[in-house]
């Protein structure tokens, strides 16, 4: 079987699938495109016009990161979901919940006013407070077992940590469980490997392109 992941180097949803592929040691190739200026073949391939898309044997196409991840998990040994149906359903629901915060890590680098920035920051904080109420004492969301839900939140924690480093964004105070969860995920090789090496530069490019208010918070060492 051949697997090709159609990707963009700035996309957190793509990272979810890379982490699963790496964690399960599945061989794959990766093809980068710009989903906002896609080649024609991509528009024909992708029903929603979004990355990631997984091509299987150059024949079948899967889209939606959560669906791609479940497929990858099911075709490889060992399950990355809780066995209990209710726990599994709850994990799926919280995976969906995380998509909004991933979008907000983009929004916080794109909005043009301080008021909008503070609104997005508050939405991120509210989401993290909710997660504090449902995640385990660590190291991962479900406890000892690294699960698909962890692959879904790792890209969020990468972005929050980068934004903290680059702009001083702080949304984690007083949230010990989420802070521990973030540290456990950031320490994993598959999580580090999923991150494009030029992510900081790409964030600055995005903020410049959007004339984002967040640029005013950028520490001097990150200024272009």
Ligand X SMILES: N[C@@H](CCC(=O)N[C@@H](CS)C(=O)NCC(=O)O)C(=O)O
The answer to whether residue 174 forms part of the interface with ligand X (CB under 6 A) is no
Of 11, 128, 148, 172, which residue is the catalytic one? 11
**Residue 135 bears catalytic tag:** no
Q: Please tell me the distance from the alpha carbon of residue 219 to that of residue 217, in angstroms, as a whole number.
A: 6
The answer to whether residue 159 forms part of the interface with ligand X (CB under 6 A) is no
> Mask of contacts with ligand X, 73-102, x by CB under 6 A?
--------------------------x---
The answer to whether residue 214 forms part of the interface with ligand X (CB under 6 A) is no
219: Cβ contacts below 8 Å, ≥ 6 apart: 166, 167, 168
Q: Please tell me the distance from the alpha carbon of residue 186 to that of residue 183, in angstroms, as a whole number.
A: 5
In degrees, rounded to 5, the angle at the alpha carbon of residue 180 between the alpha carbons of residues 176 and 183 is 140
Which position among 13, 117, 140, 213 is part of the footprint of ligand X (CB under 6 A)?
13
Q: Please tell me the distance from the alpha carbon of residue 40 to that of residue 42, in angstroms, as a whole number.
A: 5
Which position among 51, 109, 124, 148 is part of the footprint of ligand X (CB under 6 A)?
51
Question: Dihedral of CA 215/119/195/11: which sign?
Answer: negative
- Residues serving a catalytic function are 11
User: Which positions lie near ligand X, rule CB under 6 A?
Assistant: 8, 11, 13, 35-36, 49-52, 64-66, 99
């Amino acid at each position: 079987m051949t697997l090709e992941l159609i990707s963009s180097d700035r996309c957190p949803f793509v990272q979810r699938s890379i982490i699963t592929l790496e964690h399960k040691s599945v061989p794959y190739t990766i093809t980068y495109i710009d989903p906002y200026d896609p080649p024609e073949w991509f528009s024909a391939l992708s029903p929603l016009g979004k990355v990631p898309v997984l091509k299987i044997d150059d024949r079948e196409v899967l889209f939606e990161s959560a669906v791609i991840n479940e497929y990858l998990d099911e075709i490889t040994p060992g399950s990355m979901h809780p066995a209990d149906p209710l726990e599994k359903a709850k994990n799926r629901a919280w995976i969906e919940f995380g998509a909004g915060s991933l979008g907000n890590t983009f929004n916080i680098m794109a909005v043009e006013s301080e008021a909008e920035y503070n609104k997005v920051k508050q939405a991120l904080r509210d989401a993290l407070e909710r997660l504090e109420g449902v995640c385990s004492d660590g190291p991962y969301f479900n406890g000892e077992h690294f699960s698909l839900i962890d692959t879904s939140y790792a890209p969020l924690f990468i972005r929050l940590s980068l934004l903290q480093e680059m702009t001083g964004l702080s949304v984690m105070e007083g949230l010990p469980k989420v802070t521990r969860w973030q540290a456990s995920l950031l320490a994993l090789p598959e999580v580090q490997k999923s991150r494009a090496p030029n992510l900081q530069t790409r964030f600055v490019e995005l903020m410049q392109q959007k004339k984002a208010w967040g640029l005013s918070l950028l520490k001097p060492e990150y200024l272009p």
